Amino acid sequence: MIERINLVPQKPYAEKVKSALPLILGILVAAVLVTTFLEYRVLAYKLHKVDKQMSTFQKDKLLADQLQIQVNSLKTTLSRLGKEESELHKNVAALDITSTNKKYFSRALSTIASTLPDSVKCKKITFENKTGQITGVAVQYGDLPDLVTRLKNNPLFKTAALKNVDKSTGSNKDQLLFTINLELQ
């Protein structure tokens, strides 16, 4: 049999490995460096993203703290306004009572004014709760019982009574000083 002889010199396997080893190691080192670089970039991106989120959370926390301060301020203002409102309601209620009493006494005063005879002059009309008193001067005694009767007959007054009648001690001795007590319905 014929053997074939290779006339082209070939490197032994060990030398082939020695010559390819730096290339393989270079490729491996490059792959490790590229992988490390890419890992670094991914971690840097994630770290940047986490920093952004932390910054957003800090801004949100600051905003929440400011809102909490505003809420507390508004609560204080609201409670103060509630107190002021209740005070105003009390004042309005007091004014309503006062205006009701004024109307009540105004009706009584207008009734007294309309029932007064021409010869009678009132010096003072006072009311305290539902009782009142008229003091004045009359020229004729006959007008006083007539005035008391008119007041008694008016539905606004519960009672009317002539309490006191005296002769005037002043310059006009013909006049009579009188006092009438009233009680309102």
Q: Confirm whether 122 is domain-assigned.
A: yes
CB contact at 8 A, 136 and 123? yes
Q: Is residue 6 part of a domain?
A: no
Instruction: Give me the domain span that covers residue 132.
Output: 117-184
Cβ-proximal residues to 107 (8 Å cutoff; 6+ apart), any chain: 156
Give the pLDDT band of residue 34 (cuts 50, 70, 90): very high
Tell me, what CATH number does 143's domain have?
3.30.1360.10
Six-digit token string for 129: 């709760």
Tens-digit pLDDT profile for residues 162-178: 998 988 776 667 788 99
Q: Is the pLDDT of residue 104 over 80?
A: no
Domain end: 97, 115, 133, which one? 115
Predicted confidence (pLDDT) per residue in 58-101, tens digit: 999 999 999 999 999 999 999 999 999 999 999 888 887 766 65
> Given this model, what pLDDT does residue 28 score?
96
Task: Record the pTM.
Answer: 0.46
Question: Is there a domain that residue 96 lies in?
Answer: yes
**3-state class of 115 per DSSP?**
helix
Residue 57, classified by CB atoms within 10 Å of its CB into exposed (0-12), middle (13-18) or buried (19+), is: exposed
